[in-house]
Structure 1
Amino acid sequence: MPASETDRPLSAADEALLLAFLAFGKRPDDDPAWHRLSESWRSRLDEALPTLAYRFPPASARDRLANDHAAEAHPDLFRIHPSWWVRALRKESPSIRQAVIAYAPDPVGPALRRAFADAPDPEVVATYPPDPEALDWVLTLAGERFVGGPIRRDDDPPIVRVIAALDARGYARILTALGLAKLAYAEQYDAVRARDRTRLQTLRASLPAPRLELVDLAVAELAALRVEARDNPVHNLPARLGLGSLGRLLTEVEPHRARWALQHLPYHIARDLHKFMKPEMFPLPSADLMDWEAALLRAAIVLLAREGRIDPLILAEPS
């Protein structure tokens, strides 16, 4: 099963609350509103406070709050895959859709114009230039569903740093490498093309010792994928296998930060990931399963670094 609520990372909202106490030099117990929180909630925050206080003295806490607020208030358009905008606009009225397509700033505007080039709205004809205030509201509200956040945080797990550091080609590479790592662990050499078998041998040196229950799980996932491919052919089987690992790794990321990371990916990939984040996709104890998936990710990163396809320095922890 995924990690329980008490084991999850501190949420962005809870961290902001504690940082506010630290920034203004107040003790939580001195605030009357503190006692309105449930006992379990207060206990979780009390447990996290000493570590946060060690990392952020008052001045640093204020800076962290200010930086996080600035990043949250204005999501970075360059870090939201255009397919998320396309999905959102399909549900809007023709007039709103056409306004955003025509006036959205780079890089969103050009991407939307390409996406909707073959599907114009003939019933919308601009008679006059748009009212500047109305247009500003349209462009602001069109992106209100998106999640902002700093590019890097000290507590980001490796999977978030990987997603934040790569581009579209990099996502395909890390998914393929993750799937190959799973196949190498299970010694399923027949599931890959001949040119990838050397890569499997390279991966084996970075993988932990095989455990029967984990090998069985990898074999079962491969078998299920082959059954699925009978009706829907899979172009890149290792990459499809890597989706399961990526989805499980994201279940241990604070939900707000996980959504921020998912927005980097094409929407159809993010949508497919959700099915791997459900409880039934955790047939083994969570700790064992997550340690294994983390080991697969490390092996995948090592492989891509050795091949010169990824710079390991961009994945290093900021500290």
Structure 2
Amino acid sequence: MARTIYERDTDALFIAAFDRPEFTARFLKLAGIAPGRTIRKLETQAPHPVGTGSIDIALDLSGGERLLIENKIDANYSVTRAGDAQPERYAASVAALKAKGIATRSVLLAPECYLKASRHARSFNATVRYEDLRSVLSGAARELLDAAILQAQTPYEPDPNAASARFFEDFYARARKIAPRLKLKGNPNGGGVRPTGSHTIYVDVPSSLSSWRDVPKPRMSIQAWDSGVHSASVKIMIGGLGHRATELPVPAGLMRLDGYLRPAGKSLGCTVDTPRLDTQRSLAEQLTAVDAALRAAAELQDWWNGSKEEIRALVAGA
């Protein structure tokens, strides 16, 4: 089953539903909140009070309580700057707010199968099942919730695309020639399968990028196509800093590559634009563009590996 519903979709569903007293009362009861409380303020992607990263939905309640809600469908937990998973981040934020005298609870909101499978679920003060909210939703909202529940229950099985498989196989071979020091992760799907919507090549970070104290372990990717932005790109991503992308100064070494900073999900993307690549055409037909992308990736790799102090300053400034 292809992934067609994302957490941002159900975030929007729940945010809209909190305008309805019946939904709010049901949710607060499931989260262990005493009856009669109402929402005074709702924030989305609010920064954690300690560390980095953001809270999916934060609720300030009458009576002075605060709820920190992490919404999940089927994705893994992201990582904090210190290398900790999201549950540790929420626990630290709850402790920090309680130390200030603010009654606070963390809530993991997810389908039942996710909650049963997650070894970190008990790290949250409360868990709320999608299934227990169906009765206070209707129409398109309930349909979306049901689809998210089904997606969480259904193993991901990519729909094979022969053209995509050939493109990526040839891309890996070309990378070994043009950027031999850049080690790419293998195909995440068995049997060489690549679905039509596969547009990203991930870099094996431990084999390709240096790591330093006080700098979170990065991720790196080569994007063949990105419909959400103006260009394809290569990116080195630093977790939890995406909300500072427009505020931080672009490192001088990155600027020399015509690079810039932009959000990449919740991460800070150290980005260099590259030509778009069509995975449904042969690699030979677009060799110039492919080589440009690989050279940009190699240059970005060299910048990272040779710029420890510049990158540590970037992270410290965040």
TM over 0.5: no
Q: Higher Cα Rg: structure 1 or 2?
A: 1
Larger RCO, structures 1/2 (Cα 8 Å, 6+ apart): 1
Give the TM-score normalised by structure 2: 0.27
Counting helix residues as a fraction of each chain, which structure ranks higher?
Answer: 1
